[in-house]
Each structure stands twice: as C-alpha cells, then as structure tokens.
Amino acid sequence: MRWQAFECTGPRLAGGSRVSPGTPISLEYRHGCIHARFDVSLDLFCALRAARFDSQLAASSAASLARLLATVFAGSGPPSMNILVTGCAGFIGMHTCERLLARGDQVTGIDNLNDYYDPALKQARLARLTADPAFRFERMDIAEPDALNRLFARHPQQRVIHLAAQAGVRYSLKNPQAYVASNLTAFVNVLEACRHQGVEHLVYASSSSVYGHNADLPFRVEQDVDHPVSLYAATKKSNELMAHCYSHLFRLPTTGLRFFTVYGPWGRPDMAYWLFTRAILEGRPIDVFNQGRMRRDFTYIDDIVEGVVRVLDQIAVPEPGYDRHHPTPAASDAPYRLYNIGNSQPVELLDFIGAIEDALGRKAVRNLLPMQAGDVEATYADVSALERAVGFSPVTPIEVGVGQFVDWYREWTSR
C-alpha cells in the first residue's frame, strides 16, 4: 500500500471514529525518493473509495492520484504484491501490467522486444508502463538458460503472469523452431524459476487453439484436447501438461487460461480485425477465408485482463474429492487449474466484419477464399468454470469493443 491516511485535523479516523463529511484529511504518498502530500475532504476521500477500479477515473486527467488513492483506503483491495509479467510489451501483457499498477502492485515486466511485428508498437506500449515508478523493465529472452533465475535473485517475485510466447497459428507453419524456443524451452525455464524461487502462483496463457477440430460446442475445459491442428496449439497443450507436472511434483500452484480471439486497442497487427481495418481504410480488398463461414468467440481485452487478475488473486488449490478414476483435464489433486476466458457468444465472421464497417463508416471489398491450413471453423467458450471460481465472465458486446479498437486505430495511425 503506497498511500496512507496518516493525519487529519479533526477527530482521528482509526477505530471507526465519527467524523463530519467536511473533515480535512492529509494523505501522503511515498515511493522511493518521491514524497507527496495532499489534503482532501472526507467526502472526496469516500467518493474515491467508492469509485475504485473505475476505468473512467483511470482515463481522467487526475489518473495518477485517483488510481493510487483507489487501491489503499481501508479494505479497497488486496495488499500490494511483487508481480512478474512476461511479455509485458505485448498486447495482453501491456494491459495486464496497467491494471496491476492501477491497483498498487509493484510490477516487473520482461520482454525480448522481437521483430515478429513492428517493434515500434511494442516500444510505444512499453513507454506507457515505464512512466509509472512502480514498474521495472528488464529486456531479456527467457529461452536463455538461467536468465529468470538471475532476475529472481535480484528482484524476488511473489506471483508470475506468463504471457510471453511466439503467437500466431499460421506463422507456426513457416517457422516452427521459433515456437519450440519461445513456447516450450522458455516455459520450462519459467517453471524452473518459479519452483526454485517459491513463487506463490503461476498464471500462464494457453489458447482456444488447443481444442483443434473438436466439434462439441461450446468448448469446455473438461473436454479432451488431444488432436491439435497446428504446432502453435500443440505447444500450448504442452504447456498445460508441463504445468501439471510441476504442480504435482513440486506443489507449484499453476493456472492456465485458454484465451479466445482477443481484440481491442493496442492489439497485434497480424490479427484479422487489424488487417481488415487497415485494408478497408486503404481501399483494398480483405481476404475472407472459408468463404466467411466461420465463427469466433471474440473477447475484448478488458474482459481478458479482468479474468487474468481475478485468477491471479485466487491461488490454485487441489480439487476437493478429486477422483482419479474419473479424471478431468481442468483440475487435479495437485494445485492446478484450467479455465476458458471467452465472450461465450460466438459471432459470424461476416457479422464481425460488418461491425468494423459500421465503426469505420465504410464498406469492405471481400475476397472470398478457401480455409487456411491450421485454422478451425468455430470457437465457442464455456466459461462456467471461470464463473464458479472467480465470479466473472466477459461482458463486452462486439459493437462496443470494435468501436473502441477503431477509435484507437485511427489515433495510432494518425500520429
């Protein structure tokens, strides 16, 4: 906790003492060499408490004050933690770091800033994070042996969110070795570092791609996922298996999150929604695979981050009464969990394109093509396990999320 109400000119606040709404309260902020003091009235104090984690406050001109005040006043959130986020300059990584910083955590972010897509976008994301004194950045490749152990020796971490990976189904057909290094070797290094450093909870990104050509919709975490159709999906399934080994052998609490088609501001340029938006604005045709006969469970970035943070705060534990005679992939007698995070409302691809057209005020010229290798016709998340565990499921409508992305994209490309 970085803010504290340490003095007031009227009756003291401790012990639930009665004070009038206009009572002036002095608030102090200390972090390293930074020391600031503010005087606010009790009614403003209470209003800020009531508005904690409000995204409108976080976007206001008083963001620095509001977000810090909002996380510390008597029971307004969990104690500040030291949290490591891998892939911090990535799409989900940046948003996750911002959320953790907003609630008062100390965040160490690592990223190798590779050139899979424009590094300038990664640098711009990173610049948003490094402006916060509670954020520390370390550039490193976690596929390198002992890199994480050296980091942990300098900066011990309580919990880890592992988002670094080589993304992309189609790129795995061109450069499989990148997936072996980034998604397999690196993940073993993460597990080893967490094991030896006594990390309280490892939360890592899996993917809806693990469901492959499974036709039993919606996809449930209890289903078998033994038939991936891309190397990318196979590496993500492997991560889940390796995590279970470490949960079983070393009692390392791990939780895997199967993300479903994440979109939103600051997204990846190789994703379809970005490619569609760019092509439409430039007056070029868009490539629509499988003649547009595809459905995706598009999930807005804010919903993904909400799920990640809630899961991080709930350390994985063994399933009570786990029955080895009737095992489920989603739980174990080890501290191990798996959850889907998806909007649970699959959208036809042509309808999604329509939402982009509406937000842009322009129509697309559609180039209808056959299905691509490694792709699947439909994704649809059953999020009931996530709802039971943390009381949350994604809620953002496509029209709202697409509008937010288009607004950001216009701003980004006009800079």
The residues carrying an active-site annotation are: 232
Phi/psi at 73 (nearest 5 deg)?
-75, 110
Phi/psi at 54 (nearest 5 deg)?
-75, 120
| 218 preceded by a cis bond (ω within 30 of 0) | yes
Residue 398 to residue 415: CA distance in whole angstroms: 26
When computed from its CA atoms, the radius of gyration of the chain, rounded to whole angstroms, is 22
β partners of residue 108 = 84, 136
SS (H, E, C) the chain: CCEEEEEECCCCCHHHCCCCCCCEEEEEEEECCEEEEEEEEHHHHHHHHHCCCCHHHHCCCCHHHHHHHCCCCCCCCCCCCEEEEECCCCHHHHHHHHHHHHCCCEEEEEECCCCCCCHHHHHHHHHHHHCCCCEEEEECCCCCCCHHHHHHHHCCCCEEEECCCCCCCCHHHHCHHHHHHHHHHHHHHHHHHHHHHCCCEEEEEEEHHHHCCCCCCCECCCCCCCCCCCHHHHHHHHHHHHHHHHHHHHCCCEEEEEECCEECCCCCCCCHHHHHHHHHHHCCCEEEEHHHCCEECCEEHHHHHHHHHHHHHCCCCCCCCCCCCCCCCCCCCCCEEEEEECCCCCEEHHHHHHHHHHHHCCCCCEEEECCCCCCCCECCECCHHHHHHHCCCCCCCHHHHHHHHHHHHHHHHCC
Contact (Cβ atoms closer than 8 angstroms) between residue 305 and residue 95: yes
Which pair of structure tokens corresponds to residue 262?
A: 């994440």
Tracing tokens 């510390």 back to the chain, one arrives at: 72
